[in-house]
Structure 1
Amino acid sequence: MRLVDWLDKGASLGADAPCLTMDGRSLSYAEVQALTHRVARGLNTSGILPGQHVAILSGNDPIAFACVFAISRAAAVWCPINPRNEAAENAYVLDNFDCSALIFHSKFADLVDELRSQLPKLTLLVCVDAEQPFAPSLDKWLNGIDGAPFTAAPVSDLAMLPGTGGTTGHPKGVMLTNRNLEAMTALTLMGYPFEGRPVYLAMAPLTHAAGVLAFPIMAHGGEVVIMPHPDIGEFLTLASRHHATHSFLPPTLIYMLLDHPALPATDLSAMQCFWYGAAPISPARLEEAIGKLGPVMAQLFGQTEAPMMISMMAPKDHLNPDGSVARHRLSSAGKPGPLVRVAIVGEDGGELPQGERGEIVVRGSLVMDGYYKNAEATTEATLNGWHRTGDIGYVDADNFLFIVDRAKDMIITGGFNVYSAEVEAALLAHPAVQDGAVFGLPDDKWGERVCAVVQLRAGQKADPQDIIASVKAAIGSVKAPKELEIWADLPRSKVGKVLKREIRALRLANNL
């Protein structure tokens, strides 16, 4: 299956069914197909050959997302550009990833105009929605383009070239093949509930998880309802109006959803699968979500290099056989998928026995082909044929994977290993805490001391020492923060993750 085959599969199940919907207007599968044929032929006519790289710079937009499938139909490679990145980072990605064409939304026209003189490799610029002085609109560019079916023959299996989302250094280009995306989609379809024709509500960026999770929806001929801007109130309105069956949100937005005053009156009875992932979730708030949203919560764990489905926890896995919440499992990342192998390895690279903590490694068709033009980084991420995730975890007797921390976030204090994710989970169990970050700072006595910064839930007040005491009661004094600050807000990445490194740098600077 090529990436465009998911669209064509959905069309075969009902060409007139709604495919992409936004602001009350739907494009049918037939309409999206027709657009992709024209855009693919337009790329070919403009000299974009199979195997060349085509970038898309846009917020959530149905026409821009349709162009993803057109790129595949043209046998080119999709490079998703995060619109929230800094200009210099996007310029680096466009140049280093050898992009020949850029399809962009008019909201980013000024940015493109600023960057284009630095990007001589770009031979084609097209604006999705409005003509620019330096680029035609999509409609004008397609004027005179034959609408007959067009599909180019691929020169390789490379389908997608996203950048890593690290907080230091330049992004690395992750070479994802059609085989990788097929494995991801197959795992999704195997591991989670899909009854009837699904309706997927996409509030998260289509450049990230929200985009690739549309592929299994299309495999069932489902509808993708796109939100142009993140808004929890509007999310609830649309979920009820469209009888949404599937959605994905990172934990931070789930916490906001649970606290929203409109939630109790919102009809979410059609929901089958509410995915969460991209960052650790508080077990206490996950249990709250199951109580408020129903037994629909579904975890996924992956990374750009092995997208989405290294391990999966279906809604049923959150419950005991008697229907009660399986509290002992809520901090798990689920079971390794049936199409991947997962192992835990020690510092010497040897596999560790069940229950022991070490680095999580994975192999299978889900794993990338490597980093683009970066053999050294590819080698560093590979260990005896396994892909190194950089996460520390263990597998229990029931084959559930538990992630205890990122390897680089582990704190060694007084000779003890403290996993920041475990401390963060204890912090978020406090009723006043909305979100937080735990990190180590240099300490003359302990080597490192455990520190924390938290953000409180709206309208809540709390004393830092009371929060620390609650953590001590839950996991012991060694792991509890030695100091804790309350901030009005926390710095976050483009996809909503708390930027722990930035918080630590600010705290470290204040201590000097």
Structure 2
Amino acid sequence: MNYLDGFERTVRCDGGDTAVVTADGAERTYDELDRESTAFANAVHERIPDARCGTLARNGVETIASMIAGQKRGRGTVQLPFRAGADELVRMLDDADADGILFDDANADLALDVVERAGLEFAVHAGDASLDDGRAVSYEEFVADAPADAVVERADTDEYGVFYTSGTTSRPKAVRFDQESMWLGATQVVMEMSIEPSDVALVTTPWYHMVTSDAWILPHLLTGATLVLQPTFEPDEALELVAAHDVTGMLAVPTQLDVLAERQAELDLDVETLDYIRTGGAVVSASLVERAAEHLTETVYNSYGMTEGGPNLAYAHPEVQDEHTGSVGRESYAWELRVVDSVPPDEDPNPDAIVGPGGTGEILARCEGMCDGYLNDPEAEDDLFVDGWLRTHDVADVDEGGYLYIVDRVDNMILSGGENVYPQEVEQVLLEHGSVNDVGVVGLDDDHWGEVVAAVVSANDDVAADDLDQFCVAHRSLANFKRPRQYVVTTDDLPRTDTGTLERATVKERFFSAVRDGGSRAEGENTT
């Protein structure tokens, strides 16, 4: 079965029910969304029958319609990240063999620049802004002039679309998925969270991420539930939408969950309908789960995944949080996971070198729904698999019950004095300090130790580096060699991706470039 079959079943059964609602009040029933996506598919097919179409827009009706339209064509939608620059977007469209683009008001200037540089066949503008240069046709006209009751013959690819990886350690890579994989992933999420037609789900993370698409939008459409679309995350508005629409579920990465709990504590809005929150993308601390339970809902699902794997590889039901706080759970329904001895990123791990309970190693995964590689990047594709297993590059601890706790990325490992240090382990300790809001740990080159551990701490209070160091000394779970030897204390927010992943290269460049270039030492050097 493929995802489009599932969506068409929803239209047959729940056609008159509300599929999507926007923050500004626009609505579509399932019947209306079906007709609109069909018309868009036909209109695109008439212009570029053998090419893909990209979408550069915030969360909205048009983005949802484009996701479905790509499947109806069999030439999947290219889900473009609107935070990318023009040069990068041109490369992405070229990698994905896309020859058209749909864009909204918020991305109009960027999109028109990309259209010119990429020499696209056409551009479609969804929004109210006045564009007088004639380079784009309005979405309403584009759809209105196309038949809405006849679907173009599907290509033999049965594509869902193209995603791009976050690009935190290298340039973003294009990942193609077919409709069967997306159906499997969406169905898995329906099972994990028992999603029902009566659910109302807030969409506040960017639609173009795998987690938002296959772990949130698609599962709810598959069951006939309602999506409430927030164009871009703003915490007060998100809470107001929960209250106004009786939202039952929300997807929020840890940084969002943190600020939502903080704002709800101050606003005290009526969010009692909020029955569950799905989170992931970064380590979820015990204190964050406690704050979410106090101010939002006690039902927090923690999950773990990667773009190349679909919606998620593992998940932790809320009931396991008491005894396994911070765990991402165990393998999800469609997956087989192994934790094996870690090796450097440029070496292949041995899939048979499985670590036992209490051990630490790299996660390998396999599933019928995982991707089959990257578009136009054979070198990266060769590094993605080992003996049929998807290599995640993520390191995890395994407890006696087989529950996984993400430690860090193999790529982030700091080698200091011959010892391995995983930055996220150090970050979780420092986050327990009462004055600390956020932490970024990196390795800095050192002539004696090879690398030394350095930490940037974002704090509201005036906390000294010596205080932070003494806190680490007193913390029983942190070995001495893992303690940061340099600190920078700042009131700035640390750079993170949409899904909450720390941008370590940016942290190192912004806060420690003076050290690297031979300048002054970072504030609070600790050499003990």
Q: What pairs up with 1:429-468 in 2 under 5 angstroms?
A: 429-457=432-460, 460-468=461-469
Structure 2 residue 35 is the aligned partner of structure 1 residue 34:
yes
Aligned AA (1:345)? V
Return 240-249 or 483-492, whichever deviates more. 483-492
Distance 1:63 1:196, change over 3 A: closer
Aligned AA (1:382)? F
Q: Could you tell me whether the CA contact under 8 Å between 1:4 and 1:72 is conserved in 2?
A: yes
Matches of 1:185 and 1:143, distance apart in 2: 31
> What is the Cα-based RMSD across aligned positions, in Å?
2.0
Aligned AA (1:9)? R
Q: Given the alignment, which residue of 261, 269, 273 partners 1:270?
A: 273
- Cα displacement (A) at 1:446: 2.6
Structure 2 residue 496 is the aligned partner of structure 1 residue 492:
yes
Q: Could you tell me whether the CA contact under 8 Å between 1:236 and 1:263 is conserved in 2?
A: no
- Cα displacement (A) at 1:495: 4.4
Aligned residue in 1 for 2:346: none
Matches of 1:144 and 1:161, distance apart in 2: 27
Q: Given the alignment, which residue of 228, 231, 237 partners 1:228?
A: 231
In the TM superposition, what whole-angstrom CA distance separates every residue of 1:44-89 from its partner, at most 9, and x where no partner exists?
A: 222424xx32110101111232121112112211110111111111
Matches of 1:37 and 1:381, distance apart in 2: 35
- Cα displacement (A) at 1:342: 0.6
Q: Could you tell me whether the CA contact under 8 Å between 2:53 and 2:101 is conserved in 1?
A: yes
Matches of 2:271 and 2:430, distance apart in 1: 29
Aligned residue in 2 for 1:135: 136
- Cα displacement (A) at 1:219: 1.9
Q: Could you tell me whether the CA contact under 8 Å between 1:390 and 1:406 is conserved in 2?
A: yes
3-state SS of 1:312 partner: strand
Q: What pairs up with 1:317-356 in 2 under 5 angstroms?
A: 317-318=320-321, 325-326=322-323, 329-346=324-341, 347=343, 348-349=349-350, 350-355=352-357, 356=359
Aligned residue in 1 for 2:241: 238
Structure 2 residue 25 is the aligned partner of structure 1 residue 21:
no
- Cα displacement (A) at 1:261: 5.2
Could you tell me the TM-score, scaled by structure 2's length?
Answer: 0.89
Matches of 1:143 and 1:180, distance apart in 2: 32
Aligned AA (2:305)? G
Aligned AA (1:21)? V
Q: Given the alignment, which residue of 258, 271, 279 partners 2:261?
A: 258
Aligned residue in 2 for 1:362: 365
Gap runs ≥5 in structure 1: 319-324
In the TM superposition, what whole-angstrom CA distance separates every residue of 1:121-164 from its partner, at most 9, and x where no partner exists?
A: x3232112357411111122234322223252231133221111
Q: Given the alignment, which residue of 489, 501, 505 partners 2:505?
A: 501
- Cα displacement (A) at 1:402: 1.8
Q: Could you tell me whether the CA contact under 8 Å between 1:413 and 1:449 is conserved in 2?
A: yes
Return 348-357 or 245-254, whichever deviates more. 348-357
Aligned residue in 1 for 2:204: 203
Distance 1:144 1:79, change over 3 A: closer
3-state SS of 1:308 partner: coil
Q: Could you tell me whether the CA contact under 8 Å between 1:85 and 1:494 is conserved in 2?
A: no
Distance 1:408 1:432, change over 3 A: same
Distance 1:338 1:14, change over 3 A: closer
- Cα displacement (A) at 1:310: 0.4
Distance 1:269 1:106, change over 3 A: closer
- Cα displacement (A) at 1:26: 1.7
Structure 2 residue 215 is the aligned partner of structure 1 residue 217:
no
Distance 1:66 1:196, change over 3 A: closer
Aligned residue in 1 for 2:523: none
Matches of 2:31 and 2:135, distance apart in 1: 31
Aligned residue in 2 for 1:321: none
3-state SS of 2:137 partner: coil
Aligned AA (1:106)? D
Matches of 1:229 and 1:4, distance apart in 2: 27
Matches of 1:128 and 1:74, distance apart in 2: 20
Distance 1:263 1:195, change over 3 A: farther
Q: Could you tell me whether the CA contact under 8 Å between 1:273 and 1:296 is conserved in 2?
A: yes
Matches of 1:239 and 1:63, distance apart in 2: 22
- Cα displacement (A) at 1:168: 4.6
Aligned residue in 2 for 1:125: 123
Q: Could you tell me whether the CA contact under 8 Å between 1:271 and 1:296 is conserved in 2?
A: no
Aligned residue in 2 for 1:77: 76
Q: Could you tell me whether the CA contact under 8 Å between 2:196 and 2:223 is conserved in 1?
A: no
3-state SS of 2:163 partner: coil
Aligned AA (1:239)? V
3-state SS of 2:207 partner: coil
3-state SS of 1:85 partner: coil
Q: Percent same amino acid at aligned positions?
A: 25
- Cα displacement (A) at 1:263: 5.3
Distance 1:486 1:30, change over 3 A: same
3-state SS of 1:435 partner: strand
Aligned residue in 1 for 2:151: 150
3-state SS of 1:71 partner: helix
3-state SS of 1:379 partner: helix
Q: Could you tell me whether the CA contact under 8 Å between 1:202 and 1:227 is conserved in 2?
A: yes
In the TM superposition, what whole-angstrom CA distance separates every residue of 1:31-51 from its partner, at most 9, and x where no partner exists?
A: 1111112111212222424xx
Distance 1:238 1:6, change over 3 A: farther
Matches of 1:308 and 1:351, distance apart in 2: 27
Q: Given the alignment, which residue of 392, 410, 413 partners 2:416?
A: 413
